[in-house]
Amino acid sequence: MIIPDSPRKNRSERLPAGKRRLRKTALWIAAILLILIGIRAAMPPVILHIVNRKLDQIPEYRGHIDDVDLAILRGAYQIEGVSLEKINGASRAPFFSAEMVDLSVEWGALMHGSLVGEVELWNPKLNFVVAKSKKESQTSIDSSWEDRSKEMFPLDINRFEVHQGEVHFRDLTRTPKVDIHLDHLEALAKGLTTRPRAGEALPATFHATGRAMNHANLRVDLKLNPMAKDPTFDLDAELTGLKLTALNDFLKAYAKVDAEGGTFSLYTEMAANKGSFKGYVKPLAKDVKIFSPGKKDEGGVLETIWEAMVAGVTNIMENKPKQQVATQVPLAGKFSNPQAGIWRSVGYLLRNAFISALRPNLTHSVGFEDVTGGKQSGIKESDVKKIEGEKKAGKKDAEGDSKKGK
């Protein structure tokens, strides 16, 4: 008895050889896609388990993440709900937390032959806490944190970005308790693994803006060489318009005074190279009101006397036309033995009080060439001339202010 071939087999054999190969290829591709989809679905729980286990290996801290999401085509994965808490900490605030962390390959650098990574943080918060004992405090973290981070993301970080960040300093040992914080931080660091090229001394950049105590403006501009053995950078930073009343917990805890009005600003420039640094810090307080004779005494007689003394010194040192107290603290030396110009600081304070008010801005009097010698450092001659021109302009403006004060 002859059994006829099945119609399906006959149709398959009747197909041309090219179409049969195409059909097999399509089946293989479909099978591979199904396998990849299965792996994609299985990987997040596996990664979640591994990352949580790594975080729990940090001494004295307990780490946890809520979820992990993969972006295979982008070469990235996202961690959601990150939290790192001190196990025996005095504060419930975690040492570090973030709504989301995105870790990915930096494709721009890959195009130039460098396999490096980039990290973006959304709503990160960092809490430094001083408590009664070192065990309860969270002012630092074990060095193994870096090892755990490398295990979770083995690429060197070349680009780092922060969105809506916060940094808190809390002192629970004081009365009242202190909480000084920066908020609304937006920061971008680039070129962190870049080595200097010819004529380029500071290849990496860092720029940040934000607020202090929810209202004062903060700006930081930094150029640096992260590959250098010693700190090598050029820094400009300023904090402007901080209301002294927002610092009353801090002032009462550390200085036993209470501010009733006034603002505080801070300007700084700093440059460093080969272990040496040079710069200045210029604090400026305006319309300061420390003591009010009509205020009810809530802190006792001794506190009232101390407030009166502080107010008296502030009144003596205040520049009357501009109602501000300021000084410029010069800093210079080696990182192993830093020195601040104390007597020069006193001179600036007296100059502000009796001759002319310091200008409320950066003086542009410190540049990277001050610690490197200009062209020998890799800085362009045009940049050196530009900085020198800004210095001369600053000196002329200062002389003009001095004449007006007279």
295/334: higher pLDDT = 334
Query: Do 283 and 178 fall within a single domain?
Result: no
Mean pLDDT of 252-263: 84
What pLDDT is attached to residue 12?
53
Residue 273 within any structural domain of the chain: yes
What pLDDT is attached to residue 75?
76
Residue 3 within any structural domain of the chain: no
Residue 244 within any structural domain of the chain: no
CA distance 215 to 212: 6
**Over 80: is that where the pLDDT of 397 sits?**
no
222/307: higher pLDDT = 222
The residue among 193, 209, 226 that closes a domain is 193
Lowest mean pLDDT among 8-17, 116-125, 194-203, 280-289: 8-17
Query: Do 87 and 176 fall within a single domain?
Result: yes
CA atoms lying within 13 Å on the CB side of residue 215: 10
Query: Do 160 and 80 fall within a single domain?
Result: yes
CA distance 219 to 216: 10
**Over 70: is that where the pLDDT of 77 sits?**
yes
271/398: higher pLDDT = 271
Query: Do 161 and 263 fall within a single domain?
Result: no
Query: Do 94 and 183 fall within a single domain?
Result: yes
Query: Do 178 and 269 fall within a single domain?
Result: no
The residue among 193, 214, 244 that closes a domain is 193
CA distance 206 to 12: 65
What pLDDT is attached to residue 383?
45
CA atoms lying within 13 Å on the CB side of residue 12: 8
What count of residues does the chain have? 406
Residue 386 within any structural domain of the chain: yes
Query: Do 383 and 285 fall within a single domain?
Result: yes
**pLDDT band with cut points at 50, 70 and 90 for residue 39:** low
The residue among 155, 178, 193 that closes a domain is 193
Structure-block tokens of residue 126:
């960092």
Query: Do 290 and 374 fall within a single domain?
Result: yes
What's the total number of domains in the chain? 2
Q: b/e per residue, 12-49, with b = 16+ CB within 10 A? A: eeeeeeeeeeeeeeeeeeeeeeeeeeeeeeeeeeebbe
Please enumerate in sequence order all residues whose Cβ is within 8 A of that of 372, keeping only pairs 6 or more positions apart, or say none: 201, 273, 274, 379
pLDDT tens digit string along 104-119? 888 777 776 678 889 9
Mean pLDDT of 119-125: 96
What pLDDT is attached to residue 181?
95
73/194: higher pLDDT = 194
Residue 212 within any structural domain of the chain: no
DSSP per residue over 198-237, as a string? TT-S--EEEEEEEEETTTEEEEEEEEE-TTSSS--EEEEE
Query: Do 44 and 161 fall within a single domain?
Result: yes
Query: Do 278 and 174 fall within a single domain?
Result: no
CA atoms lying within 13 Å on the CB side of residue 225: 21
Please state, for a pLDDT cut of 70, what percent of the chain lies above it: 67
pLDDT tens digit string along 308-362? 555 555 554 455 565 566 677 788 888 777 666 655 655 555 555 554 455 566 6
Query: Do 185 and 322 fall within a single domain?
Result: no
- Domain around 179: 39-193
CB atoms within 10 A of CB 264: 21
Please state, for a pLDDT cut of 90, what percent of the chain lies above it: 25
What pLDDT is attached to residue 124?
96
Query: Do 166 and 305 fall within a single domain?
Result: no
CA distance 307 to 305: 5
Lowest mean pLDDT among 70-74, 140-144, 312-316: 312-316
What does pLDDT average to over the chain?
Answer: 76
* Nearest one of 278, 296, 372, 289 to 324, comparing CA atoms: 289
DSSP per residue over 305-327, as a string? HHHHHHHHHHHHHSBTTTTEEE-
88/323: higher pLDDT = 88
pLDDT tens digit string along 177-210? 999 999 999 999 999 988 877 778 899 999 999 9
Residue 68 near residue 47, CB atoms below 8 Å:
yes
Residue 149 within any structural domain of the chain: yes
Residue 224 within any structural domain of the chain: no
pTM here? 0.71
Task: Match 């709503």 to its residue by tokens.
Answer: 123
Mean pLDDT of 367-375: 69
290/403: higher pLDDT = 290
Lowest mean pLDDT among 30-44, 59-73, 250-264: 30-44
What pLDDT is attached to residue 371?
77
Residue 348 within any structural domain of the chain: yes
